[in-house]
Structures are given as C-alpha cells and as structure tokens.
Amino acid sequence: MLVTEQESGALDREACLRLDAEDPLRELRSRFELPDGVIYLDGNSLGPLTTSARERVERVLREEWGGLLIAGWTEAGWLEAPVRVGDRLARLVGAGPGEVIVSDTTTVNLHKLAQAALRARPDRKTVVTEAGNFPTDLYVTECLERLAGQGWCVRRAAPEALAGSLDDDTALVLLSHVDYRTGRMHDMQVLTRAAHDVGALVLWDLCHSVGAVPVDLGGCGADLAVGCTYKFLNGGPGAPAFLYVARALQGQLVSPLWGWFGHEEVFAFAESYEPAPDVRRFLTGTTGVLGAAALEGALEVWDGVDLLQAREKSVGLGQLLVRLVDERAAGLAVEVASPRDPERRGSQVSLRHPLAAEAVPALAARGVVTDFRPPDLIRFGLAPLYLRYVDVWDAVEALRSVLAGLGRPG
Ligand SMILES: *Cc1c(COP(=O)(O)O)cnc(C)c1O
C-alpha cells in the first residue's frame, strides 16, 4: 500500500503531495463540482455533485420533459430507467444483468425484501439482525414484529455473536455490511454461508458499502440486498435506492407491495395483479425520472474505474489518517474508533473525542466537512474518487488546532 511504503521516512505535507502525483485515480477529481476551499469528508452522507449528473438532469429537463412531454416515457427510455440504471450499478455490487433495479427508498426496499423473504420461509419465525444496526433497519424489523397475525419475532444479536445466534427457526438474517458509526465491515462470505447453513435467507444493507468497498454479491451467493445511492455513489439528495434479488430467487419471492409498475404488463391496465416474471415485480409505482437521471449521470464517473484500485486508494487514505492522528494528535484526547485493520473497515475512519459535538462545527468553519454521530464520534468519509492524500493531511492539521483550542480553559 502506498502509505506503508513510506513507513520509514518522515511523513510530511510534501510526501502527501507526492502520493497524489502518483495516484492512478487523480484525474477523476475533475469530474466533481466541489466548492473551493472545502475538504469534503462527508460523502458517506451525501456525495457531491458530478458534472455528468448535472448535465444529464439538464438534458432531461430541456430535451426530454421539455421537448418530448409524455412521449418521454417511451422515446427517452424513462420506462426502462429502473432496470437500465440498475444494470449499470450491478457491476459495483458483483451482480449480473437483471438482478438489480433502482426504485423507492432503502427503507421501502427493506420492507419489501424482508417481508418477501419471510413469506418464503413460512415454517420459520425469527429474523436475526444486529444490535446497533442503522435505525431504519431496526425500525423495519420492529414493524415486521407488529404485522398482524404473522408471529414473526426479531433477535438483535451482538455483531460478534451473529453466526452463533442462528438456528433452524431463523428465516432471515438482515445485516448492514459496513457499520455507519465506526465503519466496521462484516465478512459477507462467512456470514452468508452461516445463514445458508441453517437454511435462512440473508438480506444485506449496502448503504455504506456501494461505491466504498468492492462487493461481490454473486460470488458470496447472497440472496438479497438493498442500498442507497446518494452516499458514495453521488446520486444526489434522495436519489432512488436500489435492490438486488439473486436471479434464482426472483420467481419464488412475492413483493408485499403490489403496484402497477410491478405488474407483468404495466400498460395492459389489467384489473388483477400478476407479478412480472423477473426483478421488476419489486417495483411499485411511477419512477422518479429526475432522481434516476441524476443517478444515471453520476454513475458515468465509475465507468472504467478499476474497483480494486479504488479500494487501494481508500485504504491508503484511511491508513494515512490513522497514522497522522497517532503521530500528530497524540495527547489531544482523541482515539481511533474504527477497526485499525483496513481489511475490517469500510471507507471511513471515525474518531472518538469527548467534545466531538463541538469539534465538528469548528472543523466545518475551517472548511473541513465531517459529521458528528452521538455521543462522541467524528466521522471522516474517505471517498477515493475525489479526495487527495493532501486533503487528509490538511484535515488532520485542522483537527489538531480545533482540538487544542477546545481543550483550552475559558
Ligand atoms: C443511509 C442509510 C439508510 C437510508 O435509508 P433511506 O430510506 O434512504 O433514508 C438505510 N440504511 C443504512 C445502513 C444507511 O446507512
């Protein structure tokens, strides 16, 4: 890894600039419209605007909606957008064509796939998820427990005790691949196999994985997955989420939310529901064309990007941040809350500090955008396509000066 090669030499700002000059992904930064004077370390909450997303949306507004009106549904390909954009995204999660669609929100997609999975295992009643999962994932499982008459129950296991908490009553295992607070990453292969060993289906939430770490749903034999596209994929605020259903399961699972876009013939206007034979059965209603267009434009940036190179850069940025905090922020009451082993961490590093809630706005005032997660975490999202090693250096320098100021009495 780039940063560890430097281990023996002194690490200074010049060394970071040299790493940037050698970075094989350095040209990609110019495809992003980042405001001047900002070091943006919050792409794990909302990815920045790309030129290709802006241009795609402008074209839809002017030429398609503005020019074609209703004909846009067929002539501009709006109808096929969920499948077309899903196919474009598929490579980033190790899925094949026809296994991914974009639609609705991550929350709605979780409801659809979790219920479909439970109904496909009628002799089993337990959903296993992890304590500390993202709130919406926990609320979805609470909602499952309340659905009248189903008798479903939810077990929240500690993340390290997941495999041991599965048994022959487990119908579904619902996990976030990368933890939103600390970036701790599960071994998808191992946990998918553990779920299958007891006969359960597994549903992965990839919100903090897609565009951040390589994901191989197909290679892991994963059944189901969802994720949002406005974080590391830069699809824009509220961009449509995606869902994945392994091809072999598509005919067996039935969506709990029936709508006309999931019908086998949308424009037959039939009076009774017949699910589409493929993944489109998990569509509900009319596609949000503008949101899908922004996402489609943003995905252009990923074309031709070697995902292992992106991972190597993300690990390089993370290891640099950890090393600089260790070396230069020692004595400032700050501690690394993420796993130090990059193999066990997504594309973020979280630091713990008792005054984190004050440090985050103070950093933002200096142009370093991070975010705060209660009670004491500062998250640094490390998006490999537009961040530079020198940004990490400058961010740690800003952090040192902010923390030193906070510590001062009066
Ligand atoms: C961001 C995030 C979500 C967001 O869900 P929405 O329905 O898009 O609001 C869900 N799950 C996880 C793990 C997330 O990080």
pLDDT tens, position by position, 157-178: 999 999 999 999 999 999 999 9
Catalytic residue list contains 379: yes
User: What average pLDDT score do residues 194-217 get?
Assistant: 98
On the question of pLDDT at 4 being above 80, the answer is: no
The residues facing 372 across adjacent strands are 378
List the strands of the sheet with 126-130, edge to edge.
100-102, 242-245, 224-227, 201-205, 170-176, 126-130, 153-157
C-beta atoms surrounding 24 within 10 Å: 12
Between the CA of 405 and the centroid of ligand 1 the distance, in Å, is 34
Pairing of strands 201-205, 170-176: parallel
Catalytic residue list contains 231: yes
pLDDT classification of 407: cutoffs 50, 70, 90:
low
pLDDT classification of 1: cutoffs 50, 70, 90:
very low
Could you say which of 230, 232, 242, 386 is catalytic?
230
Which residue out of 107, 110, 136, 242 has the highest number of ligand 1 atoms within 8 Å of its CB and is therefore the one to mutate? 136
State the pTM of this model: 0.96
Nearest protein Cα to ligand 1, atom 15: 207
Q: Quick one: three-class SS letters along the chain?
A: CHHHHCCCCCCCHHHHHHHHHHCCCHHHHHHECCCCCCEECCCCCCCCCEHHHHHHHHHHHHHHHHHHHHHHHHHCCCCCHHHHHHHHHHHHHCCCCCCEEECCCHHHHHHHHHHHHHHCCCCCCEEEEECCCCHHHHHHHHHHHHCCCCCCEEEEECHHHCHHHCCCCEEEEEEECECCCCCEECCHHHHHHHHHHCCCEEEEECCCCCCCCCCCHHHHCCCEEEECCCCCCCCCCCCCCEEEECHHHCCCCCCCCCCHHHECCHHHCCCCCCECCCHHHHCCCCCCHHHHHHHHHHHHHHCCCCHHHHHHHHHHHHHHHHHHHHHHCCCCCCEECCCCCHHHECCEEEEECCCHHHHHHHHHHCCEECEEECCCEEEEECCCCCCCHHHHHHHHHHHHHHHHHHHCCC
Encoded tokens for 294: 């922004």
Nearest protein Cα to ligand 1, atom 14: 207
Could you say which of 56, 88, 124, 231 is catalytic?
231
Between the CA of 205 and the centroid of ligand 1 the distance, in Å, is 8
Between the CA of 188 and the centroid of ligand 1 the distance, in Å, is 19
Distance (Å, whole) CA 98 – CA 175: 23
Catalytic residue list contains 197: no
Nearest protein Cα to ligand 1, atom 1: 207
Which residue in the block uniquely carries the two structure tokens 């770490």? 213
Pick the atom of ligand 1 nearest to 228's CA: 8
Between the CA of 132 and the centroid of ligand 1 the distance, in Å, is 14
In single-letter form, the type of residue at position 133 comes to N
pLDDT classification of 3: cutoffs 50, 70, 90:
low
pLDDT 10s digits, 25-51: 999 999 999 999 999 999 999 999 999
pLDDT 10s digits, 287-323: 999 999 999 999 999 999 999 999 999 999 999 999 9
Distance (Å, whole) CA 357 – CA 197: 43
On the question of pLDDT at 410 being above 60, the answer is: no
Encoded tokens for 214: 């390589």
Residues with CB under 6 A from ligand 1: 105-107, 134, 136-137, 176, 180, 205, 207-208, 228, 241
Q: Which residues contact 184 (CB under 8 A, 6 or more apart)?
A: 159, 178, 338, 339, 344, 345, 346
Which residue out of 228, 231, 232, 284 has the highest number of ligand 1 atoms within 8 Å of its CB and is therefore the one to mutate? 228
Pick the atom of ligand 1 nearest to 238's CA: 8
Between the CA of 134 and the centroid of ligand 1 the distance, in Å, is 7
Pick the atom of ligand 1 nearest to 45's CA: 1
On the question of pLDDT at 254 being above 90, the answer is: yes
Lowest average pLDDT, out of 82-86, 159-163, 244-248, 291-295, goes to 159-163
Nearest protein Cα to ligand 1, atom 5: 106
Nearest protein Cα to ligand 1, atom 4: 106
Could you say which of 23, 42, 137, 205 is catalytic?
205
Between the CA of 71 and the centroid of ligand 1 the distance, in Å, is 34
Catalytic residue list contains 205: yes
Burial 63-77, CB ≥16 within 10 A → b, else e: ebbeeeeeebbeebe
Could you say which of 56, 155, 345, 379 is catalytic?
379
Spatial CA neighbour of 261 closest among 275, 243, 244: 275
Encoded tokens for 264: 């086998």
Pick the atom of ligand 1 nearest to 231's CA: 1
Which residue in the block uniquely carries the two structure tokens 């119908």? 171
The answer to whether 96 and 222 have CB atoms below 8 angstroms apart is no
Burial 98-126, CB ≥16 within 10 A → b, else e: bbbbbbbebbbbbbbbbbbbbebbeebeb
Pick the atom of ligand 1 nearest to 133's CA: 13
Nearest protein Cα to ligand 1, atom 6: 106
